[in-house]
Amino acid sequence: MSLKSLIKQKGFTQKGISAIFKNEFKYSKAQQQISDWCLGNRLPDIKSVYYLSKILEVSTDEIIESVLEVSTDEIDESVLEVSK
């Protein structure tokens, strides 16, 4: 699931996420940056991954997978292929 879908599924908007970053975590992230993460134009820094996991109540792994749009199954299969 993409980050954009995850945000929507949890009932948030990109603007809302940006406001939470600013108000609750005192960490300014413009809505444009969050949009860039959702579109795959940029990757969030580690602090942003942590805060996103807290806001969306999911693991940091889920945030990373959503940003990269890679499932754990795909990763496991590629590791198996490389190890053969």
Q: Which residues contact 22 (CB under 8 A, 6 or more apart)?
A: 28, 29
Please tell me the distance from the alpha carbon of residue 70 to that of residue 48, in angstroms, as a whole number: 19
pLDDT tens for each residue of 35-63? 999 888 889 999 999 999 999 999 999 99
Percent of the chain with pLDDT over 90: 56
Is the pLDDT assigned to residue 25 strictly greater than 70? Answer: yes
Question: For 11, left (φ over 0), alpha (ψ -120 to 50), or beta?
Answer: left
Model pLDDT, residue 30: 82
Going from the N-terminus, what domains does the chain have, and what CATH number goes with each?
Answer: 3-83 (1.10.260)
